[in-house]
């Protein structure tokens, strides 16, 4: 037995930390989606804050977004990154202790950050609401995430770096850059700070951050998940590896410019707005390249749909990914944005991505991952199938209600009378919205119910079972895995 | 192209789809209908009904977008909008039939355009029936009616496609999902193009 083989014989992939992160992600899903359903209800019945500041819309809404993006989303990304990087590099995490520290500190950051939001500490920047001490902590934990990930890549036993790792790597590097630059502030007190950028420049930096958080975290990171787990589920290689590499580089190049479309018709230079619009339109090409790659991979593995509920979720997530990445560039066109901006159409668009793409691909991945982590069958395939239909119905109800509400709002706000004054008062328009909001509440609640079913199903699958120990494959003299 | 006369051509299609959808798809699986025949006998009329209802509702009551007063469009504007609605529906039906025929290559399904045209026609039935709600032009009420209509159409698509095109249910599910993606993108494009044209001043004036 060679030295290399002896090392491999004594080592196992470190999946305990993956399991911990999956469980944390599910807990954040309950909290984040629960808060989302509650704030949706508050938009119909504002009195259900019961006069408590911490229950008000202004404090619960950032808790909802932070718990979903950084709690549910990032925990799932860390879990899947740790799981897949070991398997695509044929090596266990070389810095296991740091991986555990990263995983646990991240949960503490999100939990304490969430509590600070409920207490009213808020920087006022969307998706970057946490104050400066939390920002510093997040930067440190994020860098340690990068160390764990890239040290595994550095120790890899096979030469090529698989495409999913490029996306996860892009996520780690770009989010670090965005977070640090956007969080540069002058602290006034321990819990209050002011940005170092002034006025319109601050807005440009904020939306450079905001849109690329959507781009590299909610899109790029999750594409990493797709490129690893979809071929695994379909049991065949990705349809076109070349296309995936082209998609990665064009995606990385194009996304970083698109932020100014959040500031159309605002006090930033017109050419910056136009640049944001054009780059957003270009972005459609790499986004759809990945969608086509995914659909073609799955189309030759249709027989798997018969037995595996996980694949269904991923197929549907691809459809919503296609919709959201088409709708986004379209809404970035200035003349469309004139109607859609500040309306519920934007909320609908965000949720077609967040529910239809991000959440569904996480669900599909967890249905694949959890039974394999404990070497057991899924507790109930029937429950997973019910979850699938609840998730689809919930997402569709949400998106349709917001399309109806948003387009009505946009048209009514822009209609002028013969004196050039708004024809309809803002108050009257908003007073007519509760029926749409009821429909949205129903959609959100249906989706939440499905998520609870999944959590029950996965907890029952894991219950009483230890994490299974998996060895990396042996490497032959020619470098091929056995 | 001369179509073979089969059960698909007999009886009012609207009622057959409503009450015996599975049998309608089974009949289609054995038929080779002519696309022209399907187009002129059914599709044109299905595309005509929703704009007609919208025209009648819009001229009698005006569109209620939720604000205090309903939106009454000038007669000529209403006519133009209704005609555009008709052409958009027709384009959507025909392009979906072509898209479906194009996808059939990937999923190993039947390729004749007539079958795809007939399938799209069957899927259009719920929408045609549901469009009666345009007679009461309130946006939210229309949305409420169109949600079950969409669910019904999607049910027909997922159940009927593998039967009509003679492919396994799993492949049918993938192809149906691809068609749903196509339709969603088509709808969003229409929404975007309409809004953009309206912002650029190429739409009806909706000032009070």
Per-residue pLDDT reduced to its tens digit, B42-72: 899 999 999 999 999 988 888 887 766 777 8
Distance between B4 CA and the closest CA of chain A, angstroms = 32
| Among A104, A128, A136, A130, CA closest to A116 | A130
Determine, yes or no, domain membership for A94: yes
- The number of residues making up chain A comes to 482
CB contacts of A418 in chain B (<8 Å) are 207
The alpha carbon of residue A64 and the mean position of all alpha carbons in its chain are separated, in whole angstroms, by 13
| Residue A23 in this model has a pLDDT that exceeds 50 | yes
Task: Confirm or reject contact between A276 and chain B (CB < 8 A).
Answer: no
CB contacts of A413 in chain B (<8 Å) are none
CA distance B181 to B188: 11
Q: Quick one: pLDDT band at residue A481, thresholds 50, 70, 90? A: low
What's the total number of domains in chain A? 1
- Judged by CB atoms within 8 Å, which residues 141-160 of B form the interface with A? 143-144, 146-147, 150-151
CB contacts of A403 in chain B (<8 Å) are 191
Mean pLDDT within B22-33: 88
| Residue A386 in this model has a pLDDT that exceeds 60 | yes
CA distance B138 to B58: 10
Torsion of CA A191, A216, A359, A236, to 10 degrees: -150
Decide if B66 and A336 are in contact by the 8 Å CB cutoff. no
- Judged by CB atoms within 8 Å, which residues 49-88 of B form the interface with A? 65-68
Per-residue pLDDT, B208: 45
Decide if B139 and A404 are in contact by the 8 Å CB cutoff. yes
Decide if B195 and A336 are in contact by the 8 Å CB cutoff. yes
pLDDT digits (tens, 9 = 90+) for A423-470: 888 888 899 899 999 999 999 999 999 999 999 999 999 999 999 999
Per-residue pLDDT, B31: 87
Q: Quick one: pLDDT band at residue B1, thresholds 50, 70, 90? A: very low
Task: Confirm or reject contact between A201 and chain B (CB < 8 A).
Answer: no
CB contacts of A434 in chain B (<8 Å) are none
Which candidate from A299, A335, A423 shows the least CB-CB separation from B174? A299
Least confident of A38-52, A409-423, B29-43, B94-108: A409-423
Task: Confirm or reject contact between A424 and chain B (CB < 8 A).
Answer: yes
Decide if B170 and A428 are in contact by the 8 Å CB cutoff. no
| Residue A352 in this model has a pLDDT that exceeds 80 | yes
The alpha carbon of residue B133 and the mean position of all alpha carbons in its chain are separated, in whole angstroms, by 15
DSSP-assigned letters across all residues of A248-314: HHHHHHHHTT-GGGGGTTSSS-HHHHHHHHHHHHHTHHHHHHHHHHHHHHHHTTGGGGGT-HHHHHH
Per-residue pLDDT, B9: 46
Per-residue pLDDT, A476: 62
Tokens of A23: 């469980």
pTM confidence score: 0.91
- Judged by CB atoms within 8 Å, which residues 27-46 of A form the interface with B? none
Mean pLDDT within B14-29: 83
Chain B residue with minimal CA distance to A306? B170
Determine, yes or no, domain membership for A244: no
Instruction: Give the range of the structural domain holding residue A85, as residue numbers without chain letter.
Output: 1-161
CA distance B158 to A316: 13
Q: b/e for A419-430, b at 16 or more Cβ within 10 A?
A: eeeebbeeeebe
pLDDT digits (tens, 9 = 90+) for A254-296: 999 999 999 999 999 999 999 999 999 999 999 999 999 999 9
Mean pLDDT within A57-71: 97
> How large is the angle between the packed helices A74-89 and A96-118, nearest 10 degrees?
170
Determine, yes or no, domain membership for A118: yes
Decide if A319 and B208 are in contact by the 8 Å CB cutoff. no
Per-residue pLDDT, B15: 77
Per-residue pLDDT, B199: 82
Per-residue pLDDT, B99: 95
Report the residue of A281, A297, A329, A336 to disrupt the B interface, i.e. the one with the largest count of B CBs within 10 Å: A336
Determine, yes or no, domain membership for A206: no
CA distance A366 to A400: 27
Q: Quick one: pLDDT band at residue A223, thresholds 50, 70, 90? A: very high
Decide if B208 and A408 are in contact by the 8 Å CB cutoff. no
Task: Confirm or reject contact between A403 and chain B (CB < 8 A).
Answer: yes
Distance between B68 CA and the closest CA of chain A, angstroms = 7
Per-residue pLDDT, B6: 45
Task: Confirm or reject contact between A316 and chain B (CB < 8 A).
Answer: yes
Decide if A326 and B106 are in contact by the 8 Å CB cutoff. no
Determine, yes or no, domain membership for B1: no
Decide if A412 and B66 are in contact by the 8 Å CB cutoff. yes
ipTM confidence: 0.81
Decide if A404 and B140 are in contact by the 8 Å CB cutoff. yes
Per-residue pLDDT, B184: 87
pLDDT digits (tens, 9 = 90+) for A31-49: 999 999 999 999 999 999 9
CB contacts of B196 in chain A (<8 Å) are 333, 335-336
Q: Quick one: pLDDT band at residue A300, thresholds 50, 70, 90? A: confident
Range from A136-145, A322-331, B118-127 that averages highest in pLDDT? A136-145
Decide if A417 and B206 are in contact by the 8 Å CB cutoff. no
CB contacts of B184 in chain A (<8 Å) are 319, 322-323
Tokens of B151: 């669910």
Task: Confirm or reject contact between B23 and chain A (CB < 8 A).
Answer: no
Task: Confirm or reject contact between B107 and chain A (CB < 8 A).
Answer: yes
Decide if A433 and B67 are in contact by the 8 Å CB cutoff. no
Bridge partners, residue A475, by sequence: A481
% of chain A with per-residue pLDDT over 90: 86
Chain B residue with minimal CA distance to A392? B151
Residue whose tokens read 């001369």: B2
Per-residue pLDDT, B13: 73
Chain A residue with minimal CA distance to B142? A404
| Residue B5 in this model has a pLDDT that exceeds 50 | no
Which candidate from A295, A312, A396 shows the least CB-CB separation from B178? A295
Which candidate from B146, B171, B192 shows the least CB-CB separation from A333? B192
What's the total number of domains in chain B? 1
Bridge partners, residue B138, by sequence: B64
Determine, yes or no, domain membership for A326: no
Q: b/e for B6-24, b at 16 or more Cβ within 10 A?
A: eebbeeebeebbeeebeeb
Per-residue pLDDT, B17: 78
Determine, yes or no, domain membership for A294: no
Instruction: Give the range of the structural domain holding residue B84, as residue numbers without chain letter.
Output: 14-199
Mean pLDDT within A240-245: 96
Mean pLDDT within B78-106: 93
Per-residue pLDDT, B20: 83
Task: Confirm or reject contact between B102 and chain A (CB < 8 A).
Answer: no
Angle at A324 between CA A320 and CA A330, to 5 degrees: 145
Distance between A367 CA and the closest CA of chain B, angstroms = 19
Determine, yes or no, domain membership for A472: no
Which candidate from A339, A340, A397 shows the least CB-CB separation from B147? A397
A2: exposed, middle or buried (C-beta count within 10 Å: 0-12, 13-18, 19+)?
Answer: exposed
Mean pLDDT within A348-371: 97
Mean pLDDT within B178-191: 89
Determine, yes or no, domain membership for B208: no
Determine, yes or no, domain membership for B7: no
Determine, yes or no, domain membership for A9: yes
Q: Are A238 and A231 in contact (CB under 8 A)?
A: yes
Q: Quick one: pLDDT band at residue A411, thresholds 50, 70, 90? A: confident
Per-residue pLDDT, B133: 95
Report the residue of A239, A281, A415, A425 to disrupt the B interface, i.e. the one with the largest count of B CBs within 10 Å: A415
Report the residue of A235, A239, A299 to disrupt the B interface, i.e. the one with the largest count of B CBs within 10 Å: A299
Decide if B206 and A411 are in contact by the 8 Å CB cutoff. yes
> How large is the angle between the packed helices B139-164 and B21-30, nearest 10 degrees?
40
Torsion of CA A152, A157, A162, A167, to 10 degrees: 10
Report the residue of A303, A304, A312, A319 to disrupt the B interface, i.e. the one with the largest count of B CBs within 10 Å: A319
% of chain A with per-residue pLDDT over 70: 96
CB contacts of B168 in chain A (<8 Å) are 302-303
């Amino acid at each position: 037995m060679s030295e290399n083989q002896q090392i491999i014989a004594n080592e196992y992939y470190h999946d305990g930390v993956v399991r911990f992160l999956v469980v944390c992600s599910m807990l954040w899903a309950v909290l984040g989606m629960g808060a989302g359903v509650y704030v949706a209800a508050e938009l119909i019945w504002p009195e259900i804050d019961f006069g408590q500041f911490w229950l008000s819309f202004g404090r619960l809404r950032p808790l909802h977004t932070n718990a979903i993006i950084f709690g549910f989303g990032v925990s799932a990304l860390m879990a899947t990154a740790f799981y897949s990087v070991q398997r695509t590099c044929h090596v266990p995490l070389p810095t296991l202790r740091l991986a555990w520290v990263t995983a646990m500190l991240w949960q503490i950051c999100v939990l304490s950050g969430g509590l600070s939001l409920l207490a009213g500490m808020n920087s006022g920047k969307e998706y970057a609401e946490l104050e400066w001490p939390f920002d510093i902590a997040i930067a440190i934990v994020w860098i340690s995430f990068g160390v764990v990930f890239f040290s595994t890549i550095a120790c890899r036993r096979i030469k090529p770096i698989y495409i999913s790792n490029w996306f996860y790597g892009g996520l780690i590097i770009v989010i670090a850059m965005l977070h640090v630059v956007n969080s540069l502030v002058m602290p006034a007190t321990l819990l209050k700070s002011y940005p170092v950028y002034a006025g319109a420049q601050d807005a440009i930096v904020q939306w450079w951050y905001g849109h690329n958080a959507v781009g590299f975290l909610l899109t790029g990171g999750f594409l990493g998940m797709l490129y690893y787990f979809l071929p695994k589920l379909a049991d065949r290689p990705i349809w076109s590896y070349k296309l995936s590499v082209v998609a990665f580089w064009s995606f990385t190049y194009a996304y970083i410019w698109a932020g100014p479309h959040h500031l159309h018709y605002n006090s930033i230079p017109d050419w910056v707005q136009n640049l944001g619009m054009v780059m957003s339109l270009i972005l459609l090409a790499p986004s759809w390249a990945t969608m086509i790659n995914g659909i073609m991979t799955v189309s030759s593995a249709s027989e798997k749909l018969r037995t595996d509920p996980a694949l269904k979720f991923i197929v549907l997530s691809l459809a919503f990914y296609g919709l959201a990445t088409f709708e986004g560039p379209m809404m970035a066109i200035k003349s469309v944005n004139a109607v859609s901006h500040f309306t519920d159409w934007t909320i609908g668009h965000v949720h077609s991505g967040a529910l239809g793409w991000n959440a569904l691909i996480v669900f599909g991945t967890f249905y694949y991952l959890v039974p394999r982590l404990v070497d057991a069958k899924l507790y109930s395939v029937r429950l997973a199938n019910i979850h699938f239909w609840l998730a689809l119905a919930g997402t569709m109800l949400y998106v349709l209600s917001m399309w109806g509400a948003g387009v009505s709002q946009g048209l009514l706000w822009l209609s002028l009378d013969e004196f050039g004054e708004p024809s309809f008062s803002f108050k009257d328009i908003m007073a007519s919205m509760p029926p749409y909001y009821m429909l949205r509440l129903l959609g959100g609640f249906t989706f939440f119910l499905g998520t609870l079913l999944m959590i029950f199903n996965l907890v029952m699958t894991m219950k009483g079972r230890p994490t299974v120990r998996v060895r990396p494959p042996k490497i032959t003299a020619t470098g091929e895995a056995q | 192209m001369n179509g073979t006369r089969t059960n698909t051509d007999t009886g009012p299609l609207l009622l057959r789809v409503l009450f015996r959808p599975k049998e309608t798809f089974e009949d289609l699986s054995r038929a080779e209908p002519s696309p022209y025949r399907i187009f002129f006998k059914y599709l044109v009329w299905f595309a005509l009904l929703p704009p007609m209802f919208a025209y009648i509702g819009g001229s009698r009551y005006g569109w209620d977008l939720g604000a205090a007063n309903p939106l009454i469009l000038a007669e000529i504007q209403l006519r133009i909008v209704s005609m555009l609605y008709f052409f958009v529906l027709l384009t959507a039906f025909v392009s979906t039939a072509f898209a479906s025929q194009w996808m059939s290559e990937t999923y190993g399904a039947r390729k004749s355009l007539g079958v795809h045209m007939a399938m799209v026609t069957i899927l259009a039935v719920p929408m045609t029936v549901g469009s009666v709600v345009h007679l009461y032009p309130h946006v939210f009420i229309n949305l409420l009616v169109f949600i079950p209509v969409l669910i019904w159409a999607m049910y027909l698509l997922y159940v009927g496609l593998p039967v009509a095109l003679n492919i396994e249910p799993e492949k049918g599910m993938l192809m149906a999902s691809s068609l749903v993606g196509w339709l969603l993108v088509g709808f969003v494009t229409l929404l975007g193009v309409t809004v953009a044209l309206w912002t650029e001043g190429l739409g009806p004036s909706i000032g009070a």
